[in-house]
Structure 1
Amino acid sequence: MQVKVKWLSGLLVVLLVLGLSGCMAQQRRMKYIRSNTPTLFFHGGGSSYHAEEHMVQAAENAGVTTSVIRAMVSKTGRVKLVGTWQHGAINPIVEVNYADNRQLNFKRHGQWAKNVVIALQRRYHIRKFNMVGHSLGNISLIYYSLQNSNQSRLPKLQKQVDIAGHFAGLNFKRVPTSVRQPANLKLAADGKPNRMNATYRRMTGLRQTLPRRVQVLNLYGDIGGHTDGTVPNVSSLSLKYLVASRARSYTERRFTGQQARHSRLHDNPQVDRALIKFLWGRSSH
């Protein structure tokens, strides 16, 4: 009899634990929207999709999605989708990987991003999508919209998260003049730089063409001295002038401490929480 009682007690404990686990998982899922809109992650210069994995894993751990695939982009821009997501997948994620990960012809970034979107459109018939970029990966976001805002047959960009962007230029001597950050760069209250290089001047076309439905979150690090250690904050904050006057919303978020370094922002738990809330939180809809 005692054995039976112990067995029943053990069974009840197991069922209770499973029930609580199920309730907690359900509560986590209820915090987020349930959409078939995919989110595309773009890595920085000299990097790969591995730099996106921490953010993607954070989204999976939070209960946002269980559907993750990869888009491998060759040096010629050819896209190969690795993995599949099932019909009706919730909040699917695409880790984009550029074989040519140091390309400074920004127009090619826009074309490669478009190639990824078209590949997803053909296979999954997507109608909307989100984009997340880190460092050089932000150029794919900017130039995709710059080059394709009048393409009515393409899926529609809904939200974008820009992390550690160098919109006003790269502060390295070896980069071409067209993408080098001008000396003594300062921003007006609306984010307009006092000096513009050729690529930023081209980006200002977004002020007339960015779709008004797009919501933008700009995340940047400040480890002291108004820099993330690689990109000065003025370059990251110059995004405001490009998009704020047309976007449905534009928000900036500053991070501090050693985890706010340029190369660590994509592994920063605070960044994870900010982008998860922005992209999939019910309160943001």
Structure 2
Amino acid sequence: MKKRLLMFMGIGLLVLGLSACSMGSKHTSTASNLPDSSKYEPTLFFHGWGSSYHAEEQMAQSLVNAGLTKTIVRATVSKHGKVTLSGHFRKGDYHPIVEVGFEGNRNSNPRQWGRWAEATVIKLQQTYHTKRFNMVGHSMGNMAIMYYLLDNSNKLPKLQKQVDVAGHFNGILGMGDEPNQMKLQPNGKPEKMQAAYKALLPLRHTYPKNQIAVLNIYGDKNDGSHSDGSVSNASSKSLRYLVANRAKSYQERKIVGANAQHSKLHDNAQVDKFLIDFLDD
């Protein structure tokens, strides 16, 4: 009986040893073993408040279905800013997707979201020597992008394309904004600015000059509120005043109808088409 027990223990240790070897040898690409690493230009997706990377999946998959890439990597950012990558860039697939997930997704401080975005970019820079990239945000994810740019406009890898979906740059309905109340000047300047918007005003002078192409997508439920149900069109369109005078290009696209509701926009086929055309241009 004792000999049989020892035999089983020996087999168990052998299996554990083989498993450890297998895990240790699992291939993970980095700049050191990925040819032409500087050619890789990832597109980072940022979800909204209280959400997760799942909200990015349809938009990300639409890019795969359109043939823009075959690679989706996930970046999980802890509340303390530690970034963990799942998956890896693939040889020759130069436009991979990075679905970013913030564990502190109920944090309401937009500057903290910007710091988490920065941590993600730095992780990609350290791992793949990333030099150029794109960003796509939905709802609060747009504030992650904007506050990232506010603090890092010329320090880190070059942002080439910025896509903002359902951005609440100057407030949310029921939280300092009401339907049809916000007024914008022709250049997008709001007559009244909320604190978070005022904090972004330095971007009018620091946003990278003639570097970033911007696509601003917003929804109108067509119910008379001129909003997506959560964010007024005026709040979304106030982005123009912050970046248009320095952006390489700036364009707006309005989605109309029931599927233009705020949380449906990241699963909207029309948004997917605008996104594909913009990133593939």
TM-score range, shorter chain: 0.7 to 0.9
Structure 2 counterpart of 1:122, one-letter code: Q
Residue pairs, 1:123-202, within 5 angstroms: 123-151=127-155, 154-173=156-175, 180-181=176-177, 184-202=181-199
Residue pairs, 1:114-129, within 5 angstroms: 114-129=118-133
Q: Where do 5+ consecutive residues of structure 1 fail to align?
A: 1-34, 174-179
Structure 2 counterpart of 1:169, one-letter code: G
Q: Hey, what's the Cα distance between the residues in 2 that align with 1:221 and 1:171? A: 14
Q: Hey, what's the Cα distance between the residues in 2 that align with 1:39 and 1:163? A: 15
1:75 and 2:79 correspond: yes
- 1:260 maps to which residue? 260
Asked whether the equivalents of residues 113 and 140 of structure 1 are also in contact (C-alpha less than 8 Å), the reply is: yes
Asked whether the equivalents of residues 154 and 208 of structure 2 are also in contact (C-alpha less than 8 Å), the reply is: no
Asked whether the equivalents of residues 181 and 197 of structure 1 are also in contact (C-alpha less than 8 Å), the reply is: no
TM-score by length of 1: 0.81
Count residues with an aligned counterpart.
Answer: 239
Q: Hey, what's the Cα distance between the residues in 1 that align with 2:202 and 2:63? A: 33
Q: Percent identity?
A: 54
Structure 2 counterpart of 1:103, one-letter code: N
Q: CA deviation at 1:260?
A: 0.8
Q: Hey, what's the Cα distance between the residues in 2 that align with 1:205 and 1:172? A: 26
Asked whether the equivalents of residues 182 and 195 of structure 1 are also in contact (C-alpha less than 8 Å), the reply is: no
- 1:234 maps to which residue? 234
Q: Which runs of 4+ in 1 moved over 6 A?
A: none
TM-score by length of 2: 0.82
Q: Where do 5+ consecutive residues of structure 2 fail to align?
A: 1-38
Asked whether the equivalents of residues 72 and 79 of structure 1 are also in contact (C-alpha less than 8 Å), the reply is: yes
Q: CA deviation at 1:85?
A: 1.2
1:58 and 2:56 correspond: no
Q: Kindly provide the CA deviation profile for residues 14-51 of structure 1, in whole angstroms up to 9, marking residues without a partner as x.
A: xxxxxxxxxxxxxxxxxxxxx62100000011110000
Q: Hey, what's the Cα distance between the residues in 2 that align with 1:146 and 1:245? A: 16
Structure 1 counterpart of 2:150, one-letter code: L
Q: Hey, what's the Cα distance between the residues in 1 that align with 2:48 and 2:245? A: 26
RMSD, aligned CA: 1.4
- 1:176 maps to which residue? none
- 1:8 maps to which residue? none
- 2:220 maps to which residue? 222
Q: Kindly provide the CA deviation profile for residues 98-149 of structure 1, in whole angstroms up to 9, marking residues without a partner as x.
A: 1111222111111110000000001111100100000010001101111111
Asked whether the equivalents of residues 66 and 90 of structure 1 are also in contact (C-alpha less than 8 Å), the reply is: no
Q: Hey, what's the Cα distance between the residues in 1 that align with 2:102 and 2:259? A: 25
Asked whether the equivalents of residues 40 and 130 of structure 1 are also in contact (C-alpha less than 8 Å), the reply is: yes
Q: Hey, what's the Cα distance between the residues in 2 that align with 1:125 and 1:77? A: 19
- 2:248 maps to which residue? 248
Secondary structure (helix, strand or coil) at the match of 1:126 reads coil
